[in-house]
Amino acid sequence: MRAPRLSYAGLVALAFGVSCGLDSYGSIPMAEGSDGAAAGSTGGADGAGGASSSGAAGNGPTVGAGGAGTGGTDGVGGAGGSGGSVGMGGATGAGGSGGMPEPPFCDPTDASLLACFRFEGDAKDESGKTNTVTPTNVTFKAGVDGQAADLKAGSQVFIDDAPHWDVTEYTVELWYYQRSHPGTRMGLFDSDGRYGFFIYGQGDLQCTRGGAIANMQNMPLDTWTHAACVFGGGKLRLYVNGTQVEEVDAMAPVAGSGSNAVGSNAPDNDSLDGRLDNVRIWNVARSAADICKAAGQQGC
User: What is the contact surface with Ca ion in residues (CB under 5 A)?
Assistant: 118-119, 143, 145-146, 190, 192, 265-266, 277
Comparing CB distances to Ca ion, the nearer of 145 and 247 is 145
Least Å from the CB of residue 51 to Ca ion: 33
Q: Is 205 exposed, middle or buried (0-12, 13-18, 19+ CB in 10 A)?
A: buried
Residue type, 179: R
* Contact in structure between 152 and 170 (CB atoms under 8 Å): no
Comparing CB distances to Ca ion, the nearer of 35 and 150 is 150
Alpha-carbon distance values, 123 to 51, 133, 145, 191 (Å): 40, 8, 14, 18
Query: Closest by alpha carbon to 206, among 182, 232, 233, 234?
Result: 182
Q: How far apart are CA 227 and CA 295, in angstroms?
A: 8
* Contact in structure between 40 and 82 (CB atoms under 8 Å): yes
Q: How far apart are CA 116 and CA 127, in angstroms?
A: 5
Angle between helix axes 61-77 and 81-95 (nearest 10 degrees) is 170
Least Å from the CB of residue 143 to Ca ion: 4
Comparing CB distances to Ca ion, the nearer of 42 and 259 is 259
Query: Closest by alpha carbon to 195, among 173, 170, 177, 176?
Result: 170
* Contact in structure between 165 and 260 (CB atoms under 8 Å): yes
Least Å from the CB of residue 191 to Ca ion: 8
> Residue 123 in 3-state DSSP?
coil
Least Å from the CB of residue 188 to Ca ion: 12
Least Å from the CB of residue 265 to Ca ion: 5
Least Å from the CB of residue 190 to Ca ion: 5
Least Å from the CB of residue 192 to Ca ion: 4
Comparing CB distances to Ca ion, the nearer of 86 and 276 is 276
Comparing CB distances to Ca ion, the nearer of 140 and 239 is 140
Least Å from the CB of residue 182 to Ca ion: 15
- Pairing assessment for the beta strands 274-282 and 260-262 based on DSSP bridges: unpaired
Residue type, 221: L
* Contact in structure between 53 and 71 (CB atoms under 8 Å): no
> Residue 298 in 3-state DSSP?
coil
Comparing CB distances to Ca ion, the nearer of 94 and 229 is 229
Comparing CB distances to Ca ion, the nearer of 99 and 146 is 146
Comparing CB distances to Ca ion, the nearer of 53 and 215 is 215
Residue type, 188: L
